[in-house]
Structure 1
Amino acid sequence: MRFIQLSLLIIVYLTVPCRGGDWPQIMGPYRNGHAAANETLAAEWPAGGPILKWQRPAGSGYAGLAVSQNVAILFHRIEDEEIVEALQADTGEVLWKHQSPVSYKGTYNPNDGPIAVPLIYKDRVYVFGVTGHLQCLDFKTGKQIWTRQTHKDFQVGEGFFGVGSTPIIIEEKLLVNVGGKRQNAGIVAFSLDQGRTLWQSMTDDASYSSPISAFLNGRFYALFITRLHLVGVDPKSGDILFQFPFGKRGATVNGANPVQVGKNIFATASYGVGGFWGIVEDNSTSEIWRSEKPLASQYTTPIEYDGALIGIDGRQDIGPARLVCFDPKTQKVLWSKENFGYATLLEVDNKLLILKTDGTLVMATASKEEYKELGRAQVLNSTTRALPAFSNGLLFVRDTKTLKCLELNKPAQPPVTPEKSSSN
Structure 2
Amino acid sequence: MACVRTAFWLAVLPTILLPTSKAGDWPQILGPNRDGVAVGEQLLKSWPETGPETEWTAGVGDGFAGVAVKDNQVIVFHRTPSHEVVQALNAATGKEVWSSSFPCSYQSGMSSDSGPRCVPLIGDGQVFVLGVEGDLRCLDSATGKQVWHRDTSKDFSAPEGYFGVGSSPVFFKDRLIVNVGSRDNAAVVAFSTKNGETIWQAFQDTASYSAPVIATINGAAHAIVVTRLHTVSFNPDDGAIRFQFPFGARGPTVNGATPVVMGDHVFVSASYRVGSAWADVSSNKPEVKSLGEHFLATQYATPVAYGDVLFAVDGRQDVGTASLKCISPAQQKTLWTKTGFDYGTLVRVNDELLFLTCGGELIRIAADKTEYREVSRATVLPATPRGYRLPALSNGRLFVRGDRQLKCLRVGEGE
Q: Normalising TM by the smaller chain, what interval?
A: over 0.9
Instruction: Please name the residue that 2:133 is paired with.
Output: 131
Paired residue secondary structure (2:153): helix
1:296/1:85 Cα in 2 relative to 1: closer, same or farther (>3 Å)?
same
Tell me if structure 2 keeps the 8 A contact 1:306–1:368: no
Instruction: Please name the residue that 1:414 is paired with.
Output: none
Q: Distance in 2 between matches of 1:206 and 1:12?
A: 22
1:250/1:282 Cα in 2 relative to 1: closer, same or farther (>3 Å)?
closer
Q: 1:32 aligns with which of 35, 50, 53?
A: 35
Paired residue secondary structure (1:161): coil
Paired residue secondary structure (2:178): strand
Deviation at 1:283, TM superposition (A): 5.1
Instruction: Please name the residue that 2:279 is paired with.
Output: 278
Instruction: Please name the residue that 2:255 is paired with.
Output: 254
Q: 2:99 aligns with which of 97, 100, 103?
A: 97
> Which structure 2 residues correspond to residues 168-317 of structure 1 after superposition, within 5 A?
168-181=170-183, 183-282=184-283, 284-317=285-318
Tell me if structure 1 keeps the 8 A contact 2:10–2:263: no
Deviation at 1:282, TM superposition (A): 4.0
Q: 1:53 aligns with which of 48, 52, 55?
A: 55
Instruction: Please name the residue that 2:4 is paired with.
Output: none
1:329 maps to 2:330? yes
What amino acid does structure 1 have at the position aligned with 2:224?
Answer: L
Q: 2:144 aligns with which of 142, 145, 149?
A: 142
Instruction: Please name the residue that 1:65 is paired with.
Output: 67
1:360 maps to 2:364? no
Q: Distance in 2 between matches of 1:268 and 1:101?
A: 35
Paired residue secondary structure (1:185): coil
Q: Distance in 2 between matches of 1:370 and 1:140?
A: 46
1:283/1:151 Cα in 2 relative to 1: closer, same or farther (>3 Å)?
closer
Q: Distance in 1 between matches of 2:351 and 2:21?
A: 21
Tell me if structure 2 keeps the 8 A contact 1:15–1:213: no
What amino acid does structure 2 have at the position aligned with 1:151?
Answer: S
Tell me if structure 1 keeps the 8 A contact 2:136–2:149: yes
Instruction: Please name the residue that 1:395 is paired with.
Output: 398
Paired residue secondary structure (2:187): strand
Post-superposition CA distance 1:103-124 (Å, at most 9, x none): 0001111111211000001111
1:6/1:379 Cα in 2 relative to 1: closer, same or farther (>3 Å)?
farther
How many residue pairs match? The answer is: 405
Moved over 3 A (4+): 4-7
What amino acid does structure 2 have at the position aligned with 1:344?
Answer: T
What amino acid does structure 1 have at the position aligned with 2:255?
Answer: N
Post-superposition CA distance 1:188-236 (Å, at most 9, x none): 0101110001111111000000000110121100000000000111111
Q: Distance in 2 between matches of 1:246 and 1:392?
A: 37
> Which structure 2 residues correspond to residues 149-168 of structure 1 after superposition, within 5 A?
149-168=151-170
1:14 maps to 2:17? yes
Q: Distance in 2 between matches of 1:165 and 1:16?
A: 20
- Please say which structure displays the higher CA radius of gyration: 1
Deviation at 1:341, TM superposition (A): 2.2
What amino acid does structure 1 have at the position aligned with 2:363?
Answer: V
Q: Distance in 2 between matches of 1:346 and 1:187?
A: 27
Range 126-135 or range 327-336, more displaced: 327-336
Post-superposition CA distance 1:263-319 (Å, at most 9, x none): 110000011110000011145322133322211101110001111011111111112
1:6/1:195 Cα in 2 relative to 1: closer, same or farther (>3 Å)?
farther
Deviation at 1:5, TM superposition (A): 7.8
Tell me if structure 2 keeps the 8 A contact 1:66–1:389: yes
Mark the runs of 5 or more structure 2 residues left unpaired by the alignment.
1-7
Deviation at 1:7, TM superposition (A): 6.3
Q: Distance in 2 between matches of 1:82 and 1:63?
A: 11
Tell me if structure 1 keeps the 8 A contact 2:170–2:177: yes
Q: Distance in 2 between matches of 1:6 and 1:162?
A: 39
Mark the runs of 5 or more structure 1 residues left unpaired by the alignment.
412-424
Paired residue secondary structure (1:180): coil
Q: Distance in 1 between matches of 2:21 and 2:29?
A: 13
Q: Distance in 2 between matches of 1:289 and 1:129?
A: 33
Range 374-383 or range 203-212, more displaced: 374-383
Q: Distance in 2 between matches of 1:408 and 1:300?
A: 21
Paired residue secondary structure (2:12): helix
